[in-house]
Amino acid sequence: MTSDDHTDGRRADEAGPGGVDPIREFLLGVAAQIDQLAGLIAGPRAATSAGTERVGLEVPGEITTLLTEIGDLIARLIAAVIAVLEAIATALRSTPGPGESAGPDQRYEPIAVRIDVGAATRTPVGEPEGDR
């Protein structure tokens, strides 16, 4: 994979603010984290034999490092989800709905209502309608 400015037919300046595609950066970060985790897990076992005490002494340090890496990965994932949700919210705020004009003063249309209050149509309070 090359690191040129073209990804899926899009240029880096079309990717968004700052010229960086956040999804591409996130995926590259995830791949780097997975590579580091694989190196931590497979590295000491391949370098030492199975019966040495060195493996037993390195395990707590590796677990701490592993948990730190997982925390960083989760933080990046949450940041990417927040960025996507903010982009969706911005898009929804800027797009007018169907049949809605762009002006904020024309959101509601006044409705004329005529109410006729006449003696023949009113029922006195407390009397059923059939008693008249």
pLDDT digit string (tens) for 65-80?
888 888 888 988 999 9
Phi, psi of 2 (to 5 degrees): -100, 160
Does 126 map to a domain?
A: no
Residue at token pair 């897990």 = 41
User: How far is residue 50's CA from residue 88's CA, in Å, rounded to a whole number?
Assistant: 52
39-48, 49-58, 106-115: lowest mean pLDDT where? 49-58
pLDDT for residue 33: 81
The alpha carbon torsion through 46, 51, 57, 62 (nearest 10 deg) reads 30
Q: Which domain holds residue 110?
A: 17-116
Is residue 12 situated within a structural domain? no
Which phi and psi (to 5°) does residue 96 adopt?
-70, 150
Does residue 93 belong to any structural domain of this protein? yes
Domain tally, the chain: 1
1 assigned to some structural domain? no
60 within domain boundaries: yes
The answer to the question of residue 8 being in a domain is no
Give the per-residue pLDDT at 82: 92
Res. 48 pLDDT band, cuts 50 70 90: low
CA distance 15 to 22: 8
**Does the global pTM surpass 0.85?**
no
Strand, helix or coil at 6? Answer: coil
**Tens digits of per-residue pLDDT, 83-99?**
999 988 888 888 666 66
Q: Tell me which DSSP letter residue 17 carries.
A: G
| Average pLDDT over all residues of the chain | 70
Residue 95, in any domain of the structure: yes
Establish if 129 belongs to a structural domain.
no
The CA-CA-CA angle for residues 111, 120, 127, to 5°, reads 105
CA–chain centroid gap for 71, Å, is 18
